[in-house]
Amino acid sequence: MLVEQEENMQIELLTPLTAEFIPDENDWDDLEEDDGVWGRDSGRMPLDGADLVQYKDAIQKMVDEENTFGSVDGKPCNLMQYFGGSPDIKEKVESAIVSVKEVDHVLYGCTTLRLNDYLESHELTKLCEYITGQYSDGWGEGFEQRDIRVDGGNINVHFWQCNRNFCFRQASEIESQKQEGKGEKAVRWPKMKLLGHDGNIFSIMGDARRLLVRNGQSKEADEMFQRVQNCDNYYQALGIISEYVETELSVPRQEKEKPHRKPEKGGTSR
């Protein structure tokens, strides 16, 4: 793990975020339920850090509430108060406060360490192991049970995931990687196969949005997401998604007219 200890003795440790979006009961009532696509059991849409950027303020507000729950003086929860490891580490770390942070159009879980002294590499590793435990069984276990109200439904956010993608990083590391790859490739529309999603529109929309964000097209990803949420039926939703990512239903881009073109006098527009 690459870690730079800043001059102001502060480290922001970033980890991946995931969540599920649960739409309101009535939001999709007008949509067709062909093949069980709109069944209540399938009405949970998985989200990752790129998807969660639009909900950053709502998530941070809930983090603040979680951090001050039961606090007499209103100060945020300091995870170091519960640290039972090395006394040397506890002496060096004044506080460890949980928040969220957006870096390069992706929302991360963030624990900010305020240091009294520099940490050795092995000490930081031990501290990250402790924070991982807090995310899985302590602070994070309580937080993921909180229903966070957003437009059209609720989300439940997870600071910990049981997979190999869970790791600690720094914002400076991510920004450095972004600069290295900047300008090397022209933006191209990502390709996605509809086969394998079992007709689940939530799965299709989530994968399409992630592909767009990772392709540097966050604006288009948000636009697609809003249009799909406001569509009338399943097939219209598929058509909208196929405008933004290349699927089996996409029209070749050189043959397509500009989207939302208004009809001219004496003519028609698709």
Quick one: three-class SS letters along the chain?
A: CCCCCCCCCEEEEEEECEEEEEECCCCCCCCCCHHHCCCHHHCCEEEEHHHHHHHHHHHHHHHHHHHHCCCCCCCCCCHHHHCCCCHHHHHHEEEEEEEEEEECCEEEEEEEEEECCCCCHHHHHHHHHHHHHHHHHCHHHHHCCCCEEECCEEEEEECCCCCCCCCCECHHHHHHHHHHHCCCCCCCCCECCCCCCCCCHHHHHHHHHHHHHHCCCHHHHHHHHHHHHCCCCHHHHHHHHHHHCECCCCCCHHHCCCCCCCCCCCCCCC
Per-residue pLDDT of the chain (270 residues; tens, 9 = 90+): 545 555 558 899 999 999 999 998 765 554 444 434 344 455 788 999 999 999 999 999 999 999 998 888 889 999 999 999 999 999 999 999 999 999 988 999 999 999 999 989 889 999 999 999 999 999 999 999 999 999 999 999 999 998 877 899 877 677 666 666 554 444 567 888 776 666 678 888 888 888 888 777 888 888 888 888 887 777 788 888 888 888 766 655 443 444 444 444 444 443
pLDDT at 46: 92
The CA radius of gyration of the chain, in Å to the nearest whole number, is 22
Say how far apart CA 67 and CA 131 lie, in whole Å: 15
pLDDT at 175: 67
pLDDT at 197: 62
pLDDT at 261: 46
pLDDT at 3: 53
Report the predicted TM-score, pTM, of the whole model to 2 decimal places.
0.64
pLDDT at 154: 95
pLDDT at 248: 67
pLDDT at 96: 97
